[in-house]
Amino acid sequence: MSFSPDTIAALATPAGTSAIAVVRASGPQVAGLVSGIFAETPLPRMARHADYRDARGQLVDDVLFTFFAAPNSFTGEDTLEISCHGNPFIAQKILEDLLARGCRTAEAGEFSKRAFLNGRMDLSQAEAVMDLIHARSERALAAANQQLRGSLGRHMGLLISQLVNILAMVEAYIDFPDEDLPAEDRQSVLSELKELAAATKQLIATSHYGELLREGIKTVIFGEPNAGKSSLLNRLVGRERALVSAEPGTTRDYLEERILAGPHALRLIDTAGFNLAPTPLEQRGIEKTLEQAAEADLFLWVIDATRPLPGLPPAVAARLTTANTIAVFNKTDLPPAPRGALPQDFPVVTICALDGAGIEELQTMIARLADSFQVETGDELIAINVRHSHALVQAQQALESAGQKLSDKTDTELVASDLRCALEAFGEISGKVDNEKILDRLFATFCIGK
């Protein structure tokens, strides 16, 4: 791959006042910039303290600068990183001077794009850079770090290698048109295709977990009015996020907050209580609750321990399982009512949202349940994104089509065509296909300076 040999520059730290700001430049002019600005011969990987003087000789700031020589840099090109005082005016002055000296402003994600184009990382690793920046939990951070270190690329390398071997066997018979795959070879290829399709399906299954890591586990707090749902939200959030009143039906619409539960990020949603005889406004709130429940990953069923066990709307009850629901008996500081049998053997925790009793146990239980959402893919934590999932689904469909053609004893050329389609889909994940539009669209989601 090739691209314009411009030297690019951008602020690599967030805009605003801070202790330090970093300006980054990359490209063929970098060595000359070091010599011209600092009057020094560039020495790779050595932080140097110097005055930064602009093209007119005016002092801008005293800085630390580090030169990285190609190909041993993030982008694979000569790269310069300048650490200045975090005054936005100073950082902007340095950036403007670099542009005056012949650099151009970097496009969104262009540093990472150049790293990919120069073979410093594959496409899945480039995407992991953004996952690392936006990770909201320990588990998301771990997944991003593993992907940045090539976990998905290695996994795909094994699948691609297996598929290439199958394709080579099939295409060998195409080179000899007077022969066809004998029955025993067809069965062998079919067996390997089934194994490959199963491994692909297992990777696809990590897509939802990847979404949970990136967006947070959608956790719906539900129950009857005045059971203490909003009090629980406030207790988990650590502040008074929702209004609490002894009057039932205070919550008419849902409220959403993000919290951490152990290594997991949660999108915690407080909903309107289920009321058998709702007012029109309450009915609208209940409809919102049903909408949220339809898309939830985890449920906290808050039950007033002083009252008989309430019933549930069928639409909600149908979504509850022992793997995604915790029964939270609240108001344990008051005399309890006889506890009825739960619809299923849900995990149970007793709390008092008023004084915080049992909250720590609930958080532990939430984290344990969230752990079970991870799909096993061996020793490494792999959680693919939407783009990966789309490519893998295409590959799986092509593999299944090839397998069906083998079973039906269809012409070998058609089997090979399906296998090549699967190989191309696999290649899209690590970026082995030259598709400029895909790359432009992907890296445009990156922040400037990354």
pLDDT at 372: 92
How would you classify residue 207: left for phi > 0, otherwise alpha for psi between -120 and 50, otherwise beta?
alpha
Asked if 273 and 303 touch (Cβ cutoff 8 Å), the reply is no
Residue spans in the chain of domains classed CATH 1.20.120.430? 126-206+381-430
pLDDT tens, residue by residue, 14-33:
989 999 999 999 999 999 99
Q: 99 or 278, which is more confident?
A: 99
Which residue from 427, 449, 348 is spatially nearest to 153, judged by alpha carbons?
Answer: 427
Q: For 287-299, b where at least 16 C-beta lie within 10 A, e where not — what string?
A: ebbbebbeebbbb
pLDDT tens, residue by residue, 388-431:
999 999 999 999 999 999 888 888 889 889 999 999 999 999 87
Mean pLDDT, residues 142-153: 91
Asked if 11 and 25 touch (Cβ cutoff 8 Å), the reply is no
Which residue from 73, 71, 86, 67 is spatially nearest to 13, judged by alpha carbons?
Answer: 86
Highest CATH level, class, for 217-371: alpha beta
Indicate if the pLDDT at residue 273 is higher than 50: yes
Q: 251 or 72, which is more confident?
A: 72
pLDDT at 182: 61
Q: Model's pTM, two decimal places?
A: 0.79
pLDDT tens, residue by residue, 159-209:
998 998 888 888 776 655 555 556 557 788 889 999 999 999 999 999 999
Q: In 10 A of CB 369, how many CB atoms?
A: 22
CA–CA distance, 244 with 262 (Å, rounded to integer): 26
Indicate if the pLDDT at residue 435 is higher than 80: no
pLDDT above 70 coverage of the chain, percent: 88
pLDDT band at 441 (very low <50, low <70, confident <90, very high): low
Residue spans in the chain of domains classed CATH 3.30.1360.120? 8-119
Residue spans in the chain of domains classed CATH 3.40.50.300? 217-371
pLDDT at 2: 42
Mean pLDDT, residues 222-233: 91
Indicate if the pLDDT at residue 250 is higher than 70: no
Please state at what angle helix 386-407 crosses helix 412-430, rounded to 10 degrees: 170
pLDDT band at 5 (very low <50, low <70, confident <90, very high): confident
pLDDT at 181: 54
| Yes or no: domain 8-119 corresponds to CATH 3.40.50.2300 | no
CATH number corresponding to 126-206+381-430: 1.20.120.430
pLDDT tens, residue by residue, 91-106:
999 999 999 999 999 9
pLDDT at 245: 45
Indicate if the pLDDT at residue 349 is higher than 50: yes
pLDDT at 439: 59
pLDDT at 253: 60
CA dihedral for 185, 187, 192, 196, sign (positive or negative) = positive
pLDDT at 113: 92
What are the φ/ψ torsions at residue 19 (nearest 5 degrees)? -70, -40
Which residue from 13, 14, 10 is spatially nearest to 80, judged by alpha carbons?
Answer: 10
Q: Look at residue 303 and give its three-state secondary structure.
A: strand
Mean pLDDT, residues 335-347: 91
Indicate if the pLDDT at residue 375 is higher than 70: yes
